[in-house]
A and B are shown apart, each in its own frame.
Chain A
Amino acid sequence: MATFEVSGFSELNQALSRVSDVPEEIKREILTAMGEEALAAVREAGEAAGIRSADPEAKHVLDALSLSKVKFNDNGGSVLVTFKGSRKDAKHGKRTRQAAVAFYNEYGTKHQRARPFMRPGIERRRQQIYEAGEKVYHRWLKSSF
């Protein structure tokens, strides 16, 4: 844990302003670490829910998981766990976006029971996701003070 030693208000003020001024590359690293942990959580939950297709020809939705670039805005930053690309449906010959396949699994349809894996995956590993970000933050804090 980081500690601060200050002898007066101006030093305290200076120390706190340095903490609030986390460099962009560190913010990017924090969000990426959290995103990677979230992606792993979703993949693990998907495997556990048995959503991997038996069709060896189809690129599977869990293999389409990817992390977007970090974006910054006025509210901070974000990184998205997404499903990239599409796959050919062996039965109908049509292409379906992997994101749609993920949605059908998460929420189900009239004929297919939902097999939620995104929300449960994230909830199961919420603590580890925060910790992945904290680890980067504390490493930076330690090296900065």
Chain B
Amino acid sequence: MTFRYGAGHVLVFTHLPLMLKSLLSRFVLALAVALGVATLVFLLMHLTPGDPVEAMLGESASGADRAALRTALGLDAPLPAQWWRFVSGLATGDLGRSIGAQQTVATLIAERLPNTVVLALAALAIAITLALPLGLLSALRLGGVWDRATSVFAVLGMSLPSFVLGPLLMMVFAVWLGWLPVSGSERAIGLVLPAVTLGLALAAPLSRMVRAAVAEVLNEEFICAAYARGLSAQQVLWRHALRNAALPVLTIIGMQLGALLGGAVVTEMVFGWAGLGQLTLEAIQRRDYPLVQGCVLVVSLGYVGVNLLTDAVYGLVDPRVARR
């Protein structure tokens, strides 16, 4: 490691082997969690009361039809065998076949996933542009005007679910002002309202956490030391405070991205955005169990993946992490 002040901080990758090792162990752990998640989804779908075959065919179906569907779905095999088929299928990307639509679950999900990812990324961008400055300004002067404004914004944002904020925004900007389309995912402009709705919901907790993270770093001794060396407030802020606050902020963003994928379900419904959330709901309404299972699994695994990615970036930003 080298430290240089004045010409900027130079990142030296002496910690690379250590980092790879810690990353590998994290990867193995994430894999174990992913297997647990898959098992849990499987169990939820198979152990919940109610017979999926009966739900799909209705009570009037004949015994032969039921038996045929049962065999087609593989429901006649013992539970451990079904579990093994499900998990080994997963490893090859096979999520089974949808019941209503005559397609594989993977195809259906692949069609809708890009829409959800676009929505989530747009919302994340909005949330970060709002939350970073707000959190920073309030941390710089705790109890000040910005701090109070941010705290009001955060509490309000966390108390306004997307199915309240969404319709309200829709009423103002689509119905009254007519600036934006009410719903739909065909045109890019249709992205604005759902992204803002989701982004605001995310910005609220994010601004609060950025504030806490920066405030904590500003209390550290090395900040005091930096001032003592005669650095200006600007230099201390950019070079010391923000760099160190980046770590917790990054984790929070990673964690929120997972929550975002889940929150997108409701937002997509409000705005008729043809993403994974809407697909999940359609699958639930059609009682298409393999599709429900696939949707929940893909989002959950995405969540696990994002957390792993956060950890990886973490190690890059801060060499100390790998050494722990």
A binds B: no
A: which residues have CB within 8 A of B? none
Chain B residues packing against A (C-beta within 8 Å) = none
